Amino acid sequence: MSVDLNFGCPAKLVNRHDGGASLLRQPDRVYQAVKAVSEALEGEIPVTAKIRLGFANRRLAVACAQATEAGGAAQLVVHARTRDEGYRPPAHWEWIGKIRRHVSIPVVANGDIWTLEDYWKARTLSGVVT
Protein backbone atom coordinates (compact mmCIF):
# COMPACT_ATOMS: atom_id res chain seq x y z
CA MET A 1 0.00 0.00 0.00
CA SER A 2 1.16 3.55 -0.71
CA VAL A 3 -0.27 7.02 -1.14
CA ASP A 4 0.39 8.50 -4.57
CA LEU A 5 0.27 12.27 -5.06
CA ASN A 6 -0.54 13.23 -8.64
CA PHE A 7 1.09 16.51 -9.63
CA GLY A 8 0.71 15.57 -13.27
CA CYS A 9 -3.01 15.91 -13.87
CA PRO A 10 -3.47 18.17 -16.93
CA ALA A 11 -7.27 18.56 -16.58
CA LYS A 12 -8.34 22.19 -16.94
CA LEU A 13 -10.89 21.89 -14.13
CA VAL A 14 -8.27 20.53 -11.70
CA ASN A 15 -5.65 23.09 -12.75
CA ARG A 16 -8.13 25.97 -12.61
CA HIS A 17 -8.63 25.13 -8.92
CA ASP A 18 -4.87 25.08 -8.32
CA GLY A 19 -4.42 21.34 -8.27
CA GLY A 20 -2.59 18.77 -10.38
CA ALA A 21 0.03 20.10 -12.78
CA SER A 22 -0.60 23.73 -11.77
CA LEU A 23 1.53 23.05 -8.68
CA LEU A 24 4.55 22.38 -10.92
CA ARG A 25 4.92 26.14 -11.37
CA GLN A 26 6.13 26.35 -7.75
CA PRO A 27 8.45 23.53 -6.61
CA ASP A 28 8.15 24.68 -2.98
CA ARG A 29 4.43 23.92 -3.05
CA VAL A 30 5.18 20.42 -4.37
CA TYR A 31 7.65 20.00 -1.51
CA GLN A 32 5.15 21.26 1.08
CA ALA A 33 2.42 18.89 -0.15
CA VAL A 34 4.66 15.82 -0.16
CA LYS A 35 6.14 16.73 3.21
CA ALA A 36 2.72 17.28 4.81
CA VAL A 37 1.41 13.90 3.64
CA SER A 38 4.66 12.11 4.55
CA GLU A 39 4.62 13.59 8.04
CA ALA A 40 0.94 12.81 8.53
CA LEU A 41 1.57 9.16 7.65
CA GLU A 42 4.57 9.05 10.01
CA GLY A 43 6.45 6.63 7.76
CA GLU A 44 3.76 3.96 8.16
CA ILE A 45 2.73 4.17 4.50
CA PRO A 46 5.12 5.15 1.69
CA VAL A 47 4.32 8.29 -0.27
CA THR A 48 4.98 8.35 -4.01
CA ALA A 49 4.54 11.18 -6.49
CA LYS A 50 3.82 11.67 -10.18
CA ILE A 51 4.89 14.79 -12.03
CA ARG A 52 5.07 16.04 -15.57
CA LEU A 53 8.06 17.88 -16.99
CA GLY A 54 6.41 21.14 -16.04
CA PHE A 55 3.33 23.25 -16.64
CA ALA A 56 4.10 25.34 -19.73
CA ASN A 57 7.80 24.52 -20.09
CA ARG A 58 10.49 22.23 -18.67
CA ARG A 59 12.42 24.90 -16.79
CA LEU A 60 11.45 23.61 -13.31
CA ALA A 61 11.39 19.86 -14.05
CA VAL A 62 14.47 18.97 -12.01
CA ALA A 63 13.50 21.31 -9.16
CA CYS A 64 10.04 19.72 -8.92
CA ALA A 65 11.56 16.24 -8.88
CA GLN A 66 13.98 17.27 -6.15
CA ALA A 67 11.08 18.79 -4.21
CA THR A 68 9.24 15.45 -4.18
CA GLU A 69 12.33 13.69 -2.86
CA ALA A 70 13.06 16.36 -0.25
CA GLY A 71 9.45 16.18 0.90
CA GLY A 72 9.78 12.46 1.55
CA ALA A 73 8.55 10.70 -1.60
CA ALA A 74 9.82 7.13 -1.85
CA GLN A 75 9.38 6.94 -5.65
CA LEU A 76 8.76 9.32 -8.53
CA VAL A 77 6.83 8.69 -11.73
CA VAL A 78 7.58 11.19 -14.50
CA HIS A 79 5.20 11.75 -17.41
CA ALA A 80 7.52 12.89 -20.18
CA ARG A 81 5.53 15.96 -21.27
CA THR A 82 4.49 19.30 -19.85
CA ARG A 83 0.91 20.07 -18.94
CA ASP A 84 0.56 22.30 -22.01
CA GLU A 85 1.76 19.44 -24.24
CA GLY A 86 -1.04 17.28 -22.87
CA TYR A 87 -0.82 13.83 -24.40
CA ARG A 88 0.47 14.91 -27.81
CA PRO A 89 3.56 13.07 -29.07
CA PRO A 90 6.40 13.06 -28.71
CA ALA A 91 7.21 12.17 -25.13
CA HIS A 92 10.55 13.63 -24.02
CA TRP A 93 12.03 10.53 -22.37
CA GLU A 94 15.53 12.02 -22.36
CA TRP A 95 14.29 14.54 -19.76
CA ILE A 96 13.45 11.68 -17.43
CA GLY A 97 17.13 10.76 -17.61
CA LYS A 98 18.07 14.32 -16.62
CA ILE A 99 15.74 14.13 -13.65
CA ARG A 100 17.00 10.68 -12.66
CA ARG A 101 20.54 12.03 -12.40
CA HIS A 102 19.41 14.63 -9.84
CA VAL A 103 17.46 12.44 -7.40
CA SER A 104 18.30 9.29 -5.49
CA ILE A 105 14.78 7.81 -5.25
CA PRO A 106 13.56 5.35 -7.89
CA VAL A 107 12.23 7.05 -11.03
CA VAL A 108 9.64 5.47 -13.34
CA ALA A 109 9.14 6.64 -16.95
CA ASN A 110 5.59 7.33 -18.12
CA GLY A 111 4.04 8.51 -21.37
CA ASP A 112 3.71 7.15 -24.92
CA ILE A 113 4.77 3.59 -24.17
CA TRP A 114 2.43 1.57 -26.39
CA THR A 115 4.69 -1.06 -27.94
CA LEU A 116 7.76 -3.08 -27.06
CA GLU A 117 9.76 -0.78 -29.34
CA ASP A 118 8.47 2.24 -27.38
CA TYR A 119 9.46 0.52 -24.14
CA TRP A 120 13.02 -0.04 -25.29
CA LYS A 121 13.33 3.49 -26.66
CA ALA A 122 11.96 5.00 -23.43
CA ARG A 123 14.25 2.83 -21.34
CA THR A 124 17.28 3.70 -23.45
CA LEU A 125 16.65 7.46 -23.53
CA SER A 126 15.60 7.77 -19.90
CA GLY A 127 17.97 5.27 -18.34
CA VAL A 128 15.18 3.97 -16.13
CA VAL A 129 13.12 0.80 -16.12
CA THR A 130 9.63 1.74 -17.23
Q: Which domain holds residue 50?
A: 3-126
Among 6, 7, 8, 9, the one annotated catalytic: 9
pLDDT given for residue 130 in this prediction? 52
Give catalytic status of residue 64 as yes or no: no
> How many CB atoms are located within 10 Å of the residue 124 CB?
11
Query: What CATH number is associated with residue 105?
Result: 3.20.20.70
Rg (Cα) of the chain, in Å, rounded? 14
Model pLDDT for residues 53-63, shown as the tens digit of each residue: 999 999 999 99
One-letter amino acid identity for 112? Answer: D
Total structural domains in the chain? 1
Model pLDDT for residues 20-77, shown as the tens digit of each residue: 999 999 999 999 999 999 999 998 999 999 999 999 999 999 999 999 999 999 999 9
pTM exceeds 0.85 for this model: yes
Contact 61, 95 (CB under 8 A): yes
